[in-house]
Amino acid sequence: MSVQIGQLDKELTVLNSFILQVMSGNEDFLRLAYTNPEENPGDYRRVNAYVSLGNCFSEQLLQRSFEEGFLREKTG
């Protein structure tokens, strides 16, 4: 169990790092990630997913989705 939790913790740390890089618009990071997929195929796939996430969710959209989810729970 601790191995799985450790792996999850590692993945969450990596995810957080990628999201911060993508959301901050770090062009060097994105260029490196996109031009070297054969060197780090797992990272390349992650970056693609996180770039999509970053493009879909701005701070406003996230806030609105939380508010809508909260209202949906309250109103049933």
70 and 42 Cβ atoms separated by less than 8 Å? no
Rounded CA-CA distance 44/52 in Å is 12
The two three-digit tokens of residue 31, written as one number: 């260029």
DSSP E strand boundaries for the chain: none
Give tens-digit pLDDT for 2-54. 556 666 666 667 667 766 766 666 666 655 555 555 665 556 556 666 666 65
Confidence of residue 1 (pLDDT cuts 50, 70, 90): very low
Q: Which residue has the tokens 């989705």?
A: 65
**Which residue has better confidence, 76 or 24?**
24
The two three-digit tokens of residue 73, written as one number: 């729970």
